[in-house]
Amino acid sequence: MAQMRVLPGQPDAAATAAVDLRTRLAGLALPNPVLTASGCAGAGRELHQFVDVASLGAVVTKSIMLAPRAGRATPRMVETPSGLLNSIGLQGPGLEEFLAHDLPWLVEHGARPVVSIAGESVEEYARLAARLRHAPGVAGVEVNISCPNVANRGLVFACRATDAATVVRAVRQNTAGSVPVLAKLSPDVTDIVEIAAACVAAGADGLSLINTLLGMVIDTTTMRPSLAGVTGGLSGPAIRPVAVRCVWQVHEAMPEVPILAMGGILTGSDALEMVLAGASAVSVGTAIFHDPGAPGRILAELAHALAGLGFARLVDAVGYAHRPPEPPPDAGAGSGTVTDAGADAPAEGSADVEAVTGPPQVRR
Amino acid sequence: MPVQVRGEVLSVKRVGEYHEMTIVAPGIAEHARPGQFVTLAVGGTPTSMLTRRAFSIFRVAERGVYGGTVQVVFAVTGAGTAWLAARRAHDSLDVVGPLGRPFSLPRDPASATLVGGGYGAAPLIWLGEVLRRRGARVDFVLGASRETRLFGSLDAKRMATTVAITTEDGTVGVRGRVTDVLPTLMTRANADVVYACGPMPMLAEVTRIAADRGASVQVAVEESMACGIGVCMTCVLPVVGEDGVIRMVRSCVQGPVMDGTRVRWEDIGTVPEGTWGTAPVAGATSVRSGSR
Ligand SMILES: Cc1cc2nc3c(=O)[nH]c(=O)nc-3n(C[C@H](O)[C@H](O)[C@H](O)COP(=O)(O)OP(=O)(O)OC[C@H]3O[C@@H](n4cnc5c(N)ncnc54)[C@H](O)[C@@H]3O)c2cc1C
Ligand SMILES: Cc1cc2nc3c(=O)[nH]c(=O)nc-3n(C[C@H](O)[C@H](O)[C@H](O)COP(=O)(O)O)c2cc1C
Ligand code: FES
């Protein structure tokens, strides 16, 4: 077997292809860790023109409510530095139309649909979950709790641990045991770990981190708010450090709870950052608006980055940043896939590894 | 079906206050039709400008020396278009297209009046050529605030039966707006159909004039867009369906070309009462109180 020179960060194609990208998200086995973010890929149909929905880890659909919803007035969007502020107002067809047209389409096309649900009362969430229970093909349920609770002066469920937990419990109780329930948290809270713990205690199988941050832009020409909805949700790379911090804190407090991370992922290295912070999978949102081919590109870049660091399996990188720094883990200690190839005789300078047969090289 | 391609700038040239850019973009020219648009990523990699910029397709050439090309005409109005104006030959560009619904063409030879405001003339020049080839009578009304913002008048003159020009400052043609001269022109041309592209208030007024005279009217609307491919729900406007129900319709996939008479022009920027998906019962939350 020929020796191949592999430069740090530039693994050969074979090494990239050899990275095992499979992951598990709260009992849900996924072929790879790159999903779409709710509200950024509709129900998959339009995106399918650019990325085969079956090739995605899963498709997280736009949050659906019981009834059709017109959404807010326009303008609904304003671009900000490395970000996007939106106030769509959950425009959507309502659950019945979603079940009649969108869910079957996703299933037919080989996608794994994770259905995002949103409601204005605990009862609405419970009814959504109960109705989804009998819909074939639902791979998972993501609970968007960044919605105003009509019964509690419009306070967003995600902002109070008890409200968040009540919704999650209602959804969990009405969802088949085999279908994981992910609670999607808002970063606009004092202590995200407290909310996360409450959701897990209420039965959440995993957590989606993070929803958009509440923001605002004023047009200095008209001297009025830029969005018709006045405030909106900030997304994109501008919020990525906030997302990484949330994933880090929650993973540190509850390392056993699976995390689906989102917030400004634009490249494979952004995705890797989330994985290292503790995410088992990632969702791509705003990046799709910038580059409709982003999910596929990000997956390829992530595989490349993992191979470059010597990881043979994605799962070995999950939460890696929490490990104490040097020395790197012993070859025999872990699963054996992240190995220090040069434990006895460090490969000085040269990063020659034997392709395929040689042990993976950890370079850092 | 739209594709995403890495295009290459062939040329950028000044035309009055506009920039006319020709991009080698294989796979797009072959399937594009007048009224459709492309979106361009701006700012390079990495960029702080995440939303793609939308531009009507001015012209396509299916097989140039370098493969299919797409032309767009744009005004510099902000950082994204300024970045585009600074591109030079051989620079690469991320192009998605063709997007949206094109103008529909009359089945039989008809009399078509094409009304363009500013760079809105760009897609109409191509449309006019297609209509002429199908044996239609084509008349143009082109307008702008001033002469340097007038686009396409030479091309229009080459193919049209008549061309009327208006500028708001009177630097060329009739002083005033396209809608001032449209009624007379429609009568003279015995217009069956009006096609329009330009600022939204112009489209509203053109629709009123055309509908009053019993002509059908197709307009290419310009709403702010975040994705351009139908996934984000940014670009909506209230449109009355065949069933009489108002819906918030995505202009990037159910437009940009629409039947002007179906658009609720006076309600743009609102969600009119009774729109599909608004709370039907009193006491229910208003559409503005929803979550993000
Ligand atoms: C279907 C369609 C076709 C268009 N065709 C043309 C054309 O042929 N020639 C041309 O010059 N312009 C055209 N426009 C408008 C063009 O997209 C904007 O001028 C451009 O996006 C402005 O970008 P900017 O970065 O310079 O401005 P900025 O104001 O910095 O842009 C900020 C944000 O607002 C959005 N935006 C700003 N102005 C507009 C606008 N008028 N319409 C939509 N979004 C806007 C941008 O996309 C961006 O997201 C078209 C728009 C649409 C929707
Ligand atoms: C236009 C838009 C619509 C969104 N709609 C939803 C939604 O319906 N439900 C939801 O849970 N999150 C929604 N989000 C939030 C995203 O799913 C994601 O959590 C957030 O945007 C951060 O990721 P990003 O930076 O990759 O976009 C939306 C975001 C955007 C930009
Ligand atoms: S611009 Fe995103 S749906 Fe039209």
Residue B154 phi, psi dihedral angles, 5° rounding: -65, -45
Any domain includes B191: yes
Q: C-alpha angle with apex A308: A303 to A311, nearest 5 degrees?
A: 70
The pLDDT value recorded for residue A329 is 53
The pLDDT value recorded for residue A355 is 36
Distance from residue B57's CA to the centre of ligand 1 (Å): 13
Residues B212 and B255 in one domain: no
Chain B residues touching residue A289 (CB < 8 angstroms): 50-52, 226-227, 231-232
The pLDDT value recorded for residue A207 is 98
Any domain includes B230: no
- How large is the average pLDDT for residues B87-106? 97
Kindly give the number of the ligand 3 atom that is closest to the alpha carbon of B230. 3
Which of B48-62, B229-243, B271-285 is predicted with the least confidence, judged by mean pLDDT? B271-285
> What is the reported pTM?
0.92
Structure tokens that stand for A231 in this block: 């405030």
- Helix B200-212 vs helix B178-189: angle between axes, to the nearest 10 degrees? 30
Residue nearest to atom 26 of ligand 2 (CA): A285
The pLDDT value recorded for residue A359 is 34
Distance from residue B224's CA to the centre of ligand 3 (Å): 8
Point out which residues pair with A148 in neighbouring strands.
Answer: A156
Give the H/E segment covering residue A166.
helix A161-173
Nearest to B137 by CA among B218, B195, B191: B191
Residues B202 and B132 in one domain: yes
Q: How far apart are CA A271 and CA A286, in angstroms?
A: 14
Q: Which domain holds residue B269?
A: 236-288
CA distances to A202, B86, B150 from B82, rounded to whole Å, are 52, 6, 20
Distance from residue A285's CA to the centre of ligand 3 (Å): 14
Tokens 């900030």 belong to residue = A234
In this prediction, residue A147 has a pLDDT band, given cuts at 50, 70 and 90, of confident
Structure tokens that stand for A356 in this block: 């395929």
In this prediction, residue A327 has a pLDDT band, given cuts at 50, 70 and 90, of low
CA distances to A346, B97, B224, B241 from A88, rounded to whole Å, are 55, 24, 13, 21
If you ran DSSP here, which 8-state letter would residue A102 be given?
A: I
Q: Which amino acid is at A311?
A: F
Point out which residues pair with A78 in neighbouring strands.
Answer: A85
Q: C-alpha angle with apex B258: B257 to B264, nearest 5 degrees?
A: 135
Residue A349 above 60 pLDDT?
Answer: no
The closest CB to that of B290, out of A41, A72, A82, belongs to A72
Kindly give the number of the ligand 3 atom that is closest to the alpha carbon of B251. 4
Strand-pair category, B3-15 with B193-197: unpaired
Q: Report the residue of A78, A84, A267, A289 to disrupt the B interface, i.e. the one with the largest count of B CBs within 10 Å.
A: A289
Q: What percent of chain A has pLDDT over 90?
A: 81
Residues B146 and B200 in one domain: yes
In this prediction, residue A328 has a pLDDT band, given cuts at 50, 70 and 90, of low
Structure tokens that stand for B219 in this block: 């307009």
The secondary structure of A68-80, three-state, reads CECCCCCCCEEEE
Any domain includes B35: yes
If you ran DSSP here, which 8-state letter would residue A94 be given?
A: -
The pLDDT value recorded for residue A13 is 77
Point out which residues pair with B292 in neighbouring strands.
Answer: none
The closest CB to that of A86, out of B231, B277, B292, belongs to B292
Residues B187 and B128 in one domain: yes
> Between chains, do A89 and B248 touch, taking CB under 8 Å as contact?
no
CA distance, residue B270 to nearest chain A CA (Å): 5
User: How many CB atoms neighbour CB A274 within 10 A?
Assistant: 29
The pLDDT value recorded for residue A137 is 95
The pLDDT value recorded for residue A15 is 73
Q: How far apart are CA B205 and CA B179, in angstroms?
A: 7
Residues B180 and B253 in one domain: no
Any domain includes B104: no
For chain A, list the domains and their CATH numbers: 28-301 (3.20.20.70)
The pLDDT value recorded for residue A154 is 83
Pocket around ligand 1 at a 6 A CB cut-off: A 79; B 37, 51, 53-56, 72-75, 77-81, 119, 122, 222-225, 256
Q: How far apart are CA A198 and CA A204, in angstroms?
A: 9
pLDDT tens digits along A222-262: 999 999 999 999 999 999 999 999 999 999 999 999 999 99
Residues B195 and B253 in one domain: no
Residues B19 and B46 in one domain: yes
Structure tokens that stand for A256 in this block: 């056993």
Any domain includes B179: yes
Higher pLDDT, A328 or A35: A35
The pLDDT value recorded for residue B283 is 42
Residues B35 and B77 in one domain: yes
The pLDDT value recorded for residue B109 is 87
pLDDT tens digits along A267-288: 999 999 999 999 999 999 999 9
Query: Is the omega angle on the peptide bond into residue A258 within 30 degrees of 0, that is, cis?
Result: no
Kindly give the number of the ligand 1 atom that is closest to the alpha carbon of A77. 49
| Domain count across chain B | 3
Residue A62 above 80 pLDDT?
Answer: yes
Helices (H), A148-237: 161-173, 192-201
pLDDT tens digits along A10-46: 667 777 788 999 999 999 999 999 999 999 999 999 9
**Start-to-end C-alpha separation, chain A:** 26
Instruction: Out of B220, B252, B270, pick the residue that ends a domain.
Output: B220
Task: Give me the CATH number covering residue B13.
Answer: 2.40.30.10
pLDDT tens digits along B220-257: 999 999 999 999 999 999 999 999 999 999 999 999 99
B223 — contact with chain A (CB < 8 Å)?
yes
In this prediction, residue B280 has a pLDDT band, given cuts at 50, 70 and 90, of low
The pLDDT value recorded for residue B64 is 67
Q: How far apart are CA B165 and CA B150, in angstroms?
A: 9
Instruction: Out of B99, B121, B138, pick the residue that ends a domain.
Output: B99
Contact in structure between B215 and B192 (CB atoms under 8 Å): yes
> Between chains, do A71 and B232 touch, taking CB under 8 Å as contact?
no
The closest CB to that of A120, out of B226, B253, B285, belongs to B285
Residue A48, C-beta contacts closer than 8 angstroms, at least 6 positions apart = A109
Q: Which residues of A are catalytic?
A: 147
Any domain includes B280: yes
- How large is the average pLDDT for residues B182-189? 96
Residues B121 and B200 in one domain: yes
Q: How far apart are CA B184 and CA B186, in angstroms?
A: 5
Instruction: Out of B196, B220, B244, pick the residue that ends a domain.
Output: B220
The pLDDT value recorded for residue A153 is 83
Residues B85 and B17 in one domain: yes
Contact in structure between B39 and B54 (CB atoms under 8 Å): yes
Give the number of the ligand closest to the Cα of residue A209.
Answer: 2
Any domain includes B106: no
Q: How far apart are CA A298 and CA A276, in angstroms?
A: 15
Residues B93 and B115 in one domain: no
Residues B95 and B142 in one domain: no
The pLDDT value recorded for residue A360 is 43
Nearest to A55 by CA among A24, A37, A30, A38: A30
Any domain includes B44: yes
